[in-house]
Amino acid sequence: MIRLGLTGSIGMGKSATATMFREAGIPVHDSDAAVHRLYAGAAAPLIEAAFPGTVKDGVVDRALLGAAVLNNDAAMKKLESIVHPLVTETTLNFLATAEKAGHRLVVLDVPLLFEVGRDRDCDAIVVVSADPSVQRERVLARPGMTEAKFQAIVARQIPDSEKRRRAHFVIDTGRGFEAARRAVKDVIRTLAGR
């Protein structure tokens, strides 16, 4: 079973691209979605213990947690030490289920794939990318996003140019949905031939 890592910096179109893989019948493990589930479950008491006041009604309040960890490397490392092992567990369960079902290709959708070393778990990497002006426009259109918040997030990510250099495949989402969908199909065709 081929494990294809899917990544890209904030605002590059990774979620839309993951949906295209799903629509093509490829199982996708979404690390962000796993974190959301964990924030409403197993991770909540651990995060509350480490960051008191960040959990409301048994669910991690992402805004409060973000305020506690953004621009604070030590706090971010502490949070990652709680969340990353739990996400890894969900990933291993996903892979076991996909392999048992006989899938030949799966996608591991990990926003910080290179940053956390998860690229080592993949057989190939696809990076979604777009022109920086497109990225900035997309991100600043998000509710509650500010220029300062955007810059803080980008500062924690490996530059797009480096991600592109390390990728086996690059999908330019700035060229529109149809072009991206064709690129996804090309990646699947290429990997299915292995």
CATH of 1-27+103-194, picked from 3.90.1300.10, 3.40.50.300, 3.30.565.10, 3.40.50.720, is: 3.40.50.300
Average pLDDT, integer, range 141-167: 91
Q: What is the pLDDT of residue 18?
A: 97
In this predicted structure, which of 55-59, 96-100, 113-117 has the lowest mean pLDDT? 113-117
In a 10 Å sphere around its CB, with 0-12 CB exposed, 13-18 middle and 19+ buried, how is residue 193 labelled? exposed
**Bridging pattern class, strands 55-56 and 59-60:** antiparallel
Per-residue confidence band for 40, with pLDDT thresholds at 50, 70 and 90:
very high
Mean pLDDT, rounded, of the chain: 93
Please tell me the distance from the alpha carbon of residue 68 to that of residue 54, in angstroms, as a whole number: 8
CATH 3.40.50.300 positions along the chain are: 1-27+103-194
Q: What is the mean pLDDT of residues 142-168?
A: 91
CA 2/CA 18 separation, integer angstroms: 16
pLDDT score, position 194 = 62
Question: What pTM, to 2 d.p., does this model score?
Answer: 0.88
Render pLDDT for 80-99 as a digit per residue (tens, 0 to 9). Answer: 999 999 999 999 999 999 99
- At residue 152 the predicted structure's pLDDT band, cuts being 50, 70 and 90, is confident
